[in-house]
A and B are shown apart, each in its own frame.
Chain A
Amino acid sequence: QQQVKQSPQSLIVQKGGISIINCAYENTAFDYFPWYQQFPGKGPALLIAIRPDVSEKKEGRFTISFNKSAKQFSLHIMDSQPGDSATYFCAASKGSNTGKLIFGQGTTLQVKP
């Protein structure tokens, strides 16, 4: 059972543009929603995370928007840069356990100069 669905599978954005990646979840018990960035040959690195008591969280150029009623959350990357080219994963967990994550399938982002 796929509990976290991520889209799109791939994304091409011009430098300076906004990259938007969406995720939908099924389990209403999920209460922790992180986004990870992964470069080839590396482990995932935490970008930003949100809990369902807030609808938006911003850290630098990265923003998570969270819609509890729709069971959806999204990552917005403002002023996208070529260095942002990587694979992005959304994830979710329940019981506030930051380690038992259910990941989405990933989005490969390419930012063109």
Chain B
Amino acid sequence: ETGVTQSPTHLIKTRGQQVTLRCSSQSGHNTVSWYQQALGQGPQFIFQYYREEENGRGNFPPRFSGLQFPNYSSELNVNALELDDSALYLCASSLGTSGNEQYFGPGTRLTVT
């Protein structure tokens, strides 16, 4: 059984650019949640995908968007990058939305210059 994997590990982008981050959920998991973790802070919920549909969103602007694919892997897209978008982006997967624990990937470190 493989765990949650994310790519790339690190990424450097320029303000105004667009970025796509990828997440492969743990085998058998159909739910993916994305979080943003600024340095020295707790993770902040961005949105959740369940069976390819968005299932809730945190307080993030529309330039943060996502997708979940039939194999339950997921993408996080961020348009018009801002300096404050520099953070560790974490994805976590679970089987269903309740009753089963979620497991985090190692994250993608995004730096916006």
Interface of A with B (CB < 8 Å)? 6, 32, 34, 36, 41-46, 49, 89, 91, 95-106
Contacts and interface: CB of A to CB of B under 8 A. Distances in A.
Interface of B: 4, 31-33, 35, 40-45, 48, 56, 58, 90, 92, 94, 97-107
Contacts, number: 70
Nearest to B92: A99
Given A97-B56, A98-B99, A99-B92, A43 B41 contact: no
A98 B106 contact: no
B98 A46 contact: no
B105 A98 contact: no
Contacts of B43: 44, 89, 101, 103
A43 B104 contact: yes
B104 A34 contact: no
Given A103-B42, A106-B41, A98 B90 contact: no
Contacts of A49: 101
A100 B42 contact: no
Given A95-B98, A97-B56, A99-B94, A46 B41 contact: no
A101 B101 CA distance: 11
A106 B101 contact: no
Nearest to A96: B98
5 contacts: A34-B101, A98-B97, A98-B99, A99-B32, A103-B35
A103 B46 CA distance: 12
